[in-house]
Structure 1
Amino acid sequence: MNTIFILLSIQAVMGAFDNLWHHELEAKLPQRVSARFELALHASREAIYGIVFLGLAWFEWRGALAAVLAILLVAELGITLTDFLEEDRTRRLPPFERVLHTLLTISYGLFLGVFAPMLLTWAQLPTAWVLTPHGWASWLCSVYGIGVLAWSLRNVRAVLRLNRLARNSSTTLPIDLRQRVAPAVLVTGATGFVGSALVADLLREGRRVIVLSRDARQAQASFGPQVWAIESLDAIPSETHIDTVVNLAGARVLGVPWTASRRRTLLASRVGITAALVDLMRRMQQPPRALISASAVGFYGASPNASFEPLDETAGPRPGEFQSDLCVAMEHEARRAEALGIRVVRMRFGVVLGQGDGAYPMLALSARMGLGAVLGSGHQPAPWIHLKDAVGMLHFAMANDQLRGAVNAVAPDTVPQAQFAAVLADSFGRRVRIRMPCAPMRAVLGEMATLLLDGQNARPRAALAAGYRFAYPGLASAFAALSTSRN
């Protein structure tokens, strides 16, 4: 049995990594309505693995029970093959995920080859579950089994939630001829947190939408046939009538340390796509009316010495700080469209708070568990905006021909980080008891720590002056709504 337990352990570790890295962090399956069938397959397979792990940890499956176990093992093969087909249909798998799936298949084949003779022996005995502990191996497999069953239940909940969203969605209406010839909205970064919410809103309004995505199949599966998904701007003919371009593309700034390679990636993911958009506008027979390009309050840099100095859109950048230089480079590229007579809005976002993705789910989980923390001094400002207002300001910028230039996409209620953490914890009936000192965070994260330890007291002067009305102007009301929502 030791060989069997070793093979099961290999399967468990590789499967857990595949789930966390590829399904959760990269593909974000639990946030995609189109992924509910794939998630249902995963939940079924995980339930089988849970039964196998726990069953083999403590029992011999004799007689007819051996046949039941064999049926479960064969069913896992069928589910996996169906899952492969579904993945190929809905999204483009990165090379490493394909390699990992191959290794998982080989490992499972080895397990079946080693276990089959034992299963045949059990099948010839009288039907019974015979308690047969295997020491530490039984306890280890029990941990695997409980973990994978919990994950199966979690995926079942995700499928039920996504089914509710699919039923309530009004974006499945067919496109009529008027929509086909109507001016389009081109959205880059459409499968991201803010982008997917914006596209859903545009489709509900009956707008014609073109989305640029690294994986057109995933985007098409996510948004449905109403959206034209492309992987290259070269696919757009010059005679296409695009009314507005909304540029939300860009790799995550917070996460991977800012090595030289990572900095190049962050720069290319923003400046490169913005330059390509300007080239597209230049070759179009009828240029778009407006370019709404996402930037960030990081434009103003880190200001530890004057952290609560109000910063409106007239404030300047801080050359030499990477987050500021990154935003400046992207905005500079976007402003090239002004030479084509296109209205350009450079929207500087704070932290976008919403269910499903972004910063809020992880912050909320920490707060709910009583692990909310004050970072550094806690005096640094924490600019934020609710997802509803982030999308609302994009709509506002698209519709308001008088709005142009820099616009701070932040709520009016910018508070110190310590207060931000306290209000979040209070929304779950908790308190903040943890402090994270600056020195170790700066030592581990390097310059990226400025995103957490230094802030910008950005104010939405331009948006308020233009008449935008916030749905959630206050932090307490925003967190109260998020903590009770069921998205």
Structure 2
Amino acid sequence: MKILLTGATGFIGRQLVASLGGQQLTIISRDCGAAAELLGDEHSYLKSLDKLDNLNGFDAVINLAGEPIVGKRWSDEQKKILCHSRWDITSLLSALIQQSDNPPAVFISGSAVGFYGAQGSDRLTEDATLSAAQRSEFTHKLCAKWEQLALDAGSDQTRVCVLRTGIVLGKQGGALAKMLPPFKLGLGGPIGSGHQGMSWIHMDDMVGLIRFLLGNHDCRGVFNAVAPNPVSSAVFAHSLGEVLHRPAVLPAPAFAMKLMLGEASTLLLDGQFVLPDHAVRMGFGFRFPNLRQALENLL
């Protein structure tokens, strides 16, 4: 299979590339030399999509590009960077697919559970109805346009699959790597009230779901890329403490999160309990459906 891939040097992308041995990968990267050193010189590399008129000859496109959403305060400028690092490349990929006489059979593109906004304790499937307040949140606006730009590429020849991704748990980066230092010192605990949802997925299942969507010709539309058992922040902290054999009772106060991150603190303080209804209905089987099982595997 000949696959065009963006975001390959990111946390998920690196693991996906490693799992796609035997496929012909063309990787888009602003620094092709650094990408080749990280991912291997057996792949093809392009600095940008600008010189392509179409995507004839590619069997699939996987779009994981985007500025990391956590770690910086959401100034007006940072919000523009977060949006356009996702929207611009997705729009260009959709246009190239539409301009192709023999377009890719599948376009898999990223999104996030932030699409749903702050949802309290409700359990959410892909078909959840959002309130006007939830639709007005920055994360929803970012994700809604991101998704629509990808879905614009859909046709009888190209099926589009959108991944609303939760917290990806892996050994070599991501949220878990940031959590481990304080937890290993016995200084970990829930964030804020501890009641907010944490919709998570093991990296192996994240990569497995992408591969499942690549190969299953009946899959199209939106898929929640989360494990079937979301938990609260308090349960997550307790489980991580137990696996590490450390206490996990020191909460991170909401006011401290707001002082540090400003509006971006909503990612930590206002979670969602999201369910992978569409993936389960299509027959995807999770290797790590439960948090304790996932953490024990990783740690």
Q: TM-score, normalised by structure 1?
A: 0.59
Shift of residue 225 of structure 1? 2.5
> CA distance change for structure 1 residues 458 and 376 in 2, over 3 Å: closer, same or farther?
same
Q: Which moved more, 1:438-447 or 1:343-352?
A: 438-447
Q: Percent identity?
A: 39
Cα displacement string for residues 224-257 of structure 1 (whole angstroms, at most 9, x for unaligned residues): 2321111111344647411111110000111110
Residue 351 (1) aligns with residue 164 (2): no
| Inter-partner Cα distance in structure 2 for 1:322 and 1:263 | 8
- Does residue 377 (structure 1) correspond to residue 193 (structure 2)? The answer is yes
Aligned position for 2:118: 302
Q: Which runs of 5+ in 1 are unaligned?
A: 1-182
- Contact 1:233 1:280 (8 Å CA) reproduced: no
Which residue of the other structure, out of 150, 157, 177, is the alignment partner of 1:361?
177
State the match for 2:285 in structure 1: 469
- Match of 2:77, as an amino acid? S
Give the structure 2 partner of residue 195 of structure 1.
Answer: 13
Mapped to 2, the partners of 1:354 and 1:443 lie a distance apart of 28
AA partner of residue 188 (structure 1): T
> Which residue of 2 is the match for residue 54 of structure 1?
none
Q: CA offsets, 1:137-156, max 9 Å, x none?
A: xxxxxxxxxxxxxxxxxxxx
Conserved 8 A contact 2:107-2:160 = yes
Q: Which amino acid aligns with 2:182?
A: S
> Counterparts of 1:232 and 1:247 in 2: how far apart (Å)?
13
Unaligned 5+ segments in structure 2 are: none
Q: Map of 1:272-351 to 2, 5 A cutoff?
A: 272-303=88-119, 307-317=120-130, 318-339=134-155, 341-351=157-167
Whole-Å Cα distance in 2 between the matches of residues 222 and 285 of structure 1?
34
Letter in 1 for 2:12: V
Match for residue 84 of structure 2?
Answer: 268
Count of matched residue pairs: 296
1:282/1:340 contact within 8 Å kept: no
* Amino acid paired to 1:347: L
Secondary structure at 2:9 match in 1:
coil
Q: Which residue of 2 aligns with 1:172?
A: none
CA gap 1:250/1:380 in 2 versus in 1, 3 angstroms: same
Structure number, greater radius of gyration: 1
- Could you tell me how far 1:476 is from its partner in structure 2? 0.2
In structure 1, how many angstroms separate the alpha carbons of the residues matched to 2:89 and 2:67?
A: 11
Q: 1:221 to 1:413 in 2, by over 3 A?
A: same
Compute the displacement of 1:413 (Å): 1.3
SS of residue in 2 equivalent to 1:359: helix
Pair 1:441-2:254 in alignment: no
Residue 35 of structure 2 is matched in structure 1 by 219
Structure 2 distance, partners of 1:289, 1:210, is 16
* Residues 1:482 and 2:298 are matched in the alignment: yes
CA deviations on 1:363-392 (whole Å, 9 max, x unpaired) are: 122211112121111000110000000000
TM-score scaled to structure 2, two decimals? Answer: 0.95
| 2:3 aligned counterpart, secondary structure | strand
Distance 1:361 1:340 in 2: 42
